[in-house]
């Protein structure tokens, strides 16, 4: 027996009268397929829910990849501790600018007697980096929606909430490189079969737990055509960043620079902009000064969207060459450049940028003035108000308040630093 826990059974009478009082009831549980794993091996926890009642019910479903918002309904929750009872490090990224992305939920219709199964990759919740015994508490509260037999439509409000709570135990052992690679071989083979229904799970596995022998597959995923919706290119870029080897970062840089891509029209080239922009952000978060020269060269020849991404990322490098470019772009004739330079200076988090940001409150463009005010508030924590519809004259008066505050406090105030962030 690989789990200690409680298999939960539940039921609820349908609100719609029906002969025989059709009932929503279920059995829900989490299990793991085996007890012993290698350090670095994918560890999947399987969630199953069986319809044990006489009524059809439905519930929401999405690809089982971890979301960063733990408050969302229907999401599983895993609490993992080592043999000493200490929480295991959570490898989840801390995205710059807050939680990113969203989930698109579908609906599962489960007739009586049938079972629905999902596999959740526990390595997304815990960094299993050492051999030993681990305990896992798995929980999930899932709203179940009943079918109105007259309307043949599912209700808008849950008829029941399935609840699964299980205590699982795992044992991890050290592994040789060859042993670990053998555990990943099935997933790598699936990546050569894009039509396989297991392709999304295989891609999630190798991008979550990248190893040097996966480099070619990760690069291929990160360079998949924009039309290929089965490949999450941003997920692959994150996998390369997690791998963190020099070849992996070189691959990210090539994507940022658009190398190896050919497009017949500007519109076709722009389809790659979201992935190039994300690669630029990852390079900024890495902050390696060797990436600066190619990014600065790219800045000199990039269109508006990518220029903005580069300028914002330059502040993350905290390098004099990058800082000079940011200050120079405060005087750009393009207001979009000025906005991006302000946001880059906000990312820089340097007191020396405060006077320049105050000066931007006199800019001719309303958006530039508002973004400069936002950056000042974030960097100083000072609650000076500027109305969203402020006129140039009103913005100038607020600028005078900032000047007065700076004269009085510039020498001793402590800059407000944002929590460290990392998308990968």
Q: What angle do CA 308, 329, 389 make, to 5 degrees?
A: 75
pLDDT (0 to 100) of residue 31: 98
**C-alpha distances in angstroms, 210 versus 27, 80, 83, 236?**
35, 21, 26, 10
pLDDT (0 to 100) of residue 2: 41
Contacts 24+ apart (CB under 8 A), 387-390: 390/366
pLDDT (0 to 100) of residue 162: 94
The token pair at 1 is: 């027996």
Give the residue, 117 or 154, on which the prediction is more confident: 117
pLDDT (0 to 100) of residue 335: 96
Average pLDDT (219-223) is 95
Tens of pLDDT along 311-355?
Answer: 999 999 999 999 999 999 999 999 999 999 999 999 999 999 999
Tens of pLDDT along 29-85?
Answer: 999 999 999 999 999 999 999 999 998 999 999 989 998 887 788 899 999 999 999
Binned at pLDDT 50, 70 and 90, residue 16 comes out as very low
Average pLDDT (90-110) is 80
Give which of 143, 152, 59 is closest to 106, Cα–Cα: 59
Say what the pTM is.
0.88
pLDDT at 413 over 50: yes
Give the residue, 275 or 423, on which the prediction is more confident: 275
Residue-by-residue DSSP string for 307-324 = HHHHHHHHHHH--HHHHH
Tens of pLDDT along 282-314?
Answer: 999 999 999 999 999 999 998 778 999 999 999
Pairing of strands 36-38, 44-51: unpaired
**C-alpha distances in angstroms, 86 versus 2, 39, 75, 208?**
21, 18, 23, 23
Domains delineated in the chain: 3-175 (2.60.40.10)
% of residues, the chain, pLDDT over 90 = 74
CA atoms within 13 A on the CB side of 39: 12
pLDDT (0 to 100) of residue 154: 85
Tens of pLDDT along 156-166?
Answer: 889 999 999 99
Tens of pLDDT along 164-196?
Answer: 999 999 999 999 999 999 999 999 999 998 889
Length of the chain, in residues = 424
The token pair at 303 is: 């269109």
Mean pLDDT of the chain: 89
Pairing of strands 160-173, 3-6: antiparallel
Residue-by-residue DSSP string for 249-293 = HHHHHHHHHTTT---SSHHHHHTTHHHHHHHHHHHHHHT-GGGHH
Mean pLDDT lowest for which of 110-114, 263-267, 376-380, 392-396? Answer: 263-267
The answer to whether the beta carbons of residues 269 and 276 sit under 8 Å apart is no
pLDDT (0 to 100) of residue 155: 83
């Amino acid at each position: 027996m690989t789990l200690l826990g409680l298999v939960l059974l539940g039921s609820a009478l349908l609100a719609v009268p029906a002969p025989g009082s059709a009932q929503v009831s279920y059995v829900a549980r989490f299990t793991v397929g085996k007890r012993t794993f290698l350090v670095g091996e994918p560890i999947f926890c399987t969630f199953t829910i069986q319809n044990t009642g006489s009524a059809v019910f439905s519930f929401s479903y999405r690809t089982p990849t971890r979301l960063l918002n733990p408050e969302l309904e229907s999401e599983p929750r895993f609490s993992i501790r080592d043999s000493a009872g200490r929480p295991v490090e959570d490898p989840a990224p801390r995205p710059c600018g807050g939680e990113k992305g969203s989930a698109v939920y579908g609906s599962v219709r489960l007739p009586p007697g049938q079972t629905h199964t999902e596999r959740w990759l526990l390595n997304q919740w815990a960094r299993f980096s050492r051999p030993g015994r681990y305990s896992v508490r798995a929980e999930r509260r899932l709203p179940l929606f009943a079918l109105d037999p007259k309307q043949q439509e599912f209700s808008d409000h849950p008829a029941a909430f399935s609840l699964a709570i299980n205590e699982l135990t795992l044992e991890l052992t050290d592994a040789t490189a060859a042993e670990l690679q053998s555990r990943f071989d099935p997933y790598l083979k699936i990546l050569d079969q894009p039509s396989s229904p297991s392709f999304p799970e295989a891609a999630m596995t190798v991008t979550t737990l990248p190893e040097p022998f996966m480099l070619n597959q990760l690069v291929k995923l990160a360079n998949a055509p924009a039309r290929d919706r089965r490949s999450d290119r941003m997920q692959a870029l994150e996998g390369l960043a997690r791998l963190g080897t020099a070849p992996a970062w070189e691959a990210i840089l090539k994507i940022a620079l658009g190398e190896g891509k050919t497009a017949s029209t500007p519109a076709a080239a722009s389809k790659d902009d979201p992935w190039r922009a994300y690669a630029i952000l990852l390079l900024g978060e890495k902050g390696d000064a060797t990436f600066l020269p190619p990014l600065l060269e790219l800045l000199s020849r990039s269109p508006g969207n990518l220029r903005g991404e580069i300028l914002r990322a330059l502040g993350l490098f905290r390098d004099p060459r990058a800082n000079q470019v940011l200050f120079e772009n405060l005087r750009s004739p393009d207001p979009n450049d000025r906005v991006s330079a302000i946001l880059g200076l906000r990312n820089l988090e340097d007191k020396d940028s405060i006077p320049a940001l105050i000066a931007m409150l006199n800019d001719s463009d309303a958006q530039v003035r508002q973004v400069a005010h936002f950056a000042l508030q974030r960097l100083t924590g000072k609650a000076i108000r500027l109305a969203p519809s402020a006129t140039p004259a009103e913005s100038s008066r607020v600028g005078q308040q900032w000047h007065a505050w700076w004269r009085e406090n510039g020498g001793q105030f402590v800059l407000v630093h944002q929590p460290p962030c990392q998308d990968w």
